[in-house]
Amino acid sequence: MIGAAPVPAPRLQGPVAIETPAALAERGYVEEEWFVEGASDAYDPDGVRIERDVAYATRFVVRRPADPGRASGTAFFDPLHMIGEMPASWFAADWFTRQGHVWVGASVHNSSFGASYGFIGGIDALKKRDPVRYASLHLAAFECPSRLRSHPGPAGTDSFALKWDMAMAHPQGCPIVVGVAQLLRTESEFADLKVRRLYGCGVSQTANFWRLFVDHGWHERGRAAAGEPPFEAYVLMVAPGPSTRPVDAVVVNILSEAEVVGTIVPPVTALADSEHPRTRGIELPGAPHSIGD
């Protein structure tokens, strides 16, 4: 992975007109939605390439201070959750907006997981919300069954297949977020954001997105031409941390008691604190899986 050519950034199409929610305006923030399109390779959950140069068109949302002078230089980046496009880390909105931080949410999930598990998710959730506005968006889906199975157990759930199917909902997700990260740092349209620090954030399923991102080498292959990493930190909440430790990024792993005792998945422990590489592990006694509630 090290030394790979930088990932091509998508072409910016937008912004698309959007009305800032009243609650954001009261905080002195505005919301913008941008459409992007491009082509990237697609990968399975083991990091194996499925297909090359697959076209996509998607969107990302930016919530930023209306006054550019308030921008802190820090942006938090969420791959929006495949269930209803949930902005997982936005539960910290009070803190984000008090500090002048920027929040970015990108749509990276096709609709394959929802189709298999009885709900409308990913890109199709957007199209159901507004068929005209989002008609042009498309993210490819692939038939690629899990290579392994696990015993369903009392709950009747094959946990390995479940996690595999979740990851198959974002086969182009890693190159898409790298491309959007490049746009945020380099395009003149985002100069007011003053992005100097970009943190990848995820909760539960989207935290697993970042685990795969790091473990499959995207922190390295997503570097800019001058060698800068795509993200300065990764914050993974209520999901296991990555096995790989980036040498020039902080990894923060936050678990609730639900993960530690194994009520959701087999028991896991938070990453051990370390200065080299820089990691922080936090376990929250008594907390449920939905720590934002």
What does the pLDDT read at residue 258?
84
Find the range with the poorest average confidence among 66-70, 150-154, 252-256: 150-154
Find the range with the poorest average confidence among 110-114, 115-119, 175-179: 115-119
Q: How confident is the model at residue 3 (pLDDT cuts 50, 70, 90)?
A: very low
Mean pLDDT of the chain: 89
What single-letter amino acid sits at 27?
R
Cis preceding linkage at 277, omega within 30: yes
What does the pLDDT read at residue 181?
96
Question: Which pLDDT tens digit goes with each residue over 260-278?
Answer: 887 766 788 999 999 999 9
CB distance 222 to 216 below 8 Å:
no
Task: Compute the average pLDDT of residues 72-101.
Answer: 92
Task: Compute the average pLDDT of residues 121-136.
Answer: 92
Q: How confident is the model at residue 116 (pLDDT cuts 50, 70, 90)?
A: confident
Residue 43, strand partner residues: 49
State yes or no: pLDDT of 156 exceeds 60: no
Q: How confident is the model at residue 1 (pLDDT cuts 50, 70, 90)?
A: very low
Task: Compute the average pLDDT of residues 99-122.
Answer: 91
What's the CA gap between 234 and 278, in Å, rounded?
11
Q: Which two tokens stand for residue 249?
A: 């990024």
What's the CA gap between 39 and 55, in Å, rounded?
4
Question: Which pLDDT tens digit goes with each residue over 214-238?
Answer: 999 999 999 998 899 999 999 999 9
| 206 half-sphere exposure, CB direction, 13 A CA radius | 27
What phi-psi label fits residue 292: left (phi over 0), alpha (psi between -120 and 50 degrees) or beta?
alpha
For the stretch 9-12, contacts whose Cβ atoms lie closer than 8 Å and that sit 24 or more positions apart, written own/partner, are: 9/38, 9/179, 9/180, 9/182, 9/183, 9/186, 10/36, 10/37, 10/38, 10/56, 10/176, 10/179, 10/180, 10/183, 11/36, 11/37, 11/38, 12/36, 12/183, 12/187, 12/189
- Give the Cα-Cα-Cα angle 272, 276, 280 (nearest 5 degrees): 35
